[in-house]
Structure 1
Amino acid sequence: MAITNNGSATYEGLGKDGKGHVSTGSGALSAQPYGFNTRFEDAPGTNPEELIAAAHASCFTMALSFKLAEAGYSDGNLTTDAKVSLEKQDGGFTVTKSALHCKGKIDGIDKAKFEEIAADAKENCPISRLLDCEITLETTFEG
């Protein structure tokens, strides 16, 4: 069984002068502005790399939560930040890295076990598996 979700984007005008809007099928994002200025000039709005970062952070955090529950842990908190890097390479732009930083406070677990489970979640979350770039993970553990 495949789970299918959707998003959409429009772009009016071309190149640097164009302006776009991005939406999700759920309505969580609705006509959010994006364009050259939101991607390269810090204008208000979003950009594809920011959306990938949010997707990766949320997917990894959910995967880690499920891995911890499967290992018998039942209480805690997880917070993940993702930084997605876009670099000019070979005449074009490429997403080269997604750096995850996860803070965890899990009752009854030690730091080594938390890091082991987090590493497994990083390798196996669906967005990590999708991305064709370097993925790093740094953890902060509060016992």
Structure 2
Amino acid sequence: MIRKGQAVWRGAGRDGEGALTTDSGVLHDTPYSFRTRFETQPGTNPEELIAAAHAGCFTMALAFALQAAGVTPTELSTEAAVSLDKDEAGFKITRSALSVRASVPGIDAETFARIAGEAEKNCPVSRVLNAEITLSASLV
């Protein structure tokens, strides 16, 4: 399976502007720029896309892991907070902090935490990131 995304950039780094498009059409000429990345201009940026991808991947992996354990979640709600920090070479994504709140009938907190931890380690996005990944998992 291959998934594709495209980026087009026009102009210099700080003053230029770009657009992101995915083959699925979910993103279509979605604006991104220095201002959408480091300021508050509307648009997207690579870090929030990685955060959304990590949250989505982990949540789906957790749903499958819970199913394999014989329980069905009523709801899984995950936030991923991706940190972009400056280092000697420029900028680097250093961390993705996952936080999941779950409603899962028929499971205890210890078992849920163990399954969530395994899902985090095995989700494909976790496996591709070369950053610290933390997980906070709680039943509601």
1:15 equivalent in structure 2: 13
Whole-angstrom CA distance in 1 between matches of 2:15 and 2:9: 10
1:62 equivalent in structure 2: 60
Q: Does 1:118 align with 2:111?
A: no
TM-superposed deviation, 1:75: 4.0
Q: Does 1:93 align with 2:91?
A: yes
The TM-score normalised by the length of structure 2 is 0.98
Percentage of matched positions with identical amino acids: 51
Whole-angstrom CA distance in 2 between matches of 1:33 and 1:75: 35
2:31 equivalent in structure 1: 33
Which one of 53, 70, 73 corresponds to residue 51 of structure 2? 53
**Please, which runs of 5 or more residues in structure 1 have no aligned partner?**
none
Q: Secondary structure at the match of 1:46?
A: coil
2:106 equivalent in structure 1: 108
Q: RMSD between aligned alpha carbons?
A: 0.7
Q: Secondary structure at the match of 1:16?
A: coil
Whole-angstrom CA distance in 1 between matches of 2:41 and 2:65: 38
Q: Does 1:4 align with 2:2?
A: yes
**Please, which runs of 5 or more residues in structure 2 have no aligned partner?**
none
The TM-score normalised by the length of structure 1 is 0.96
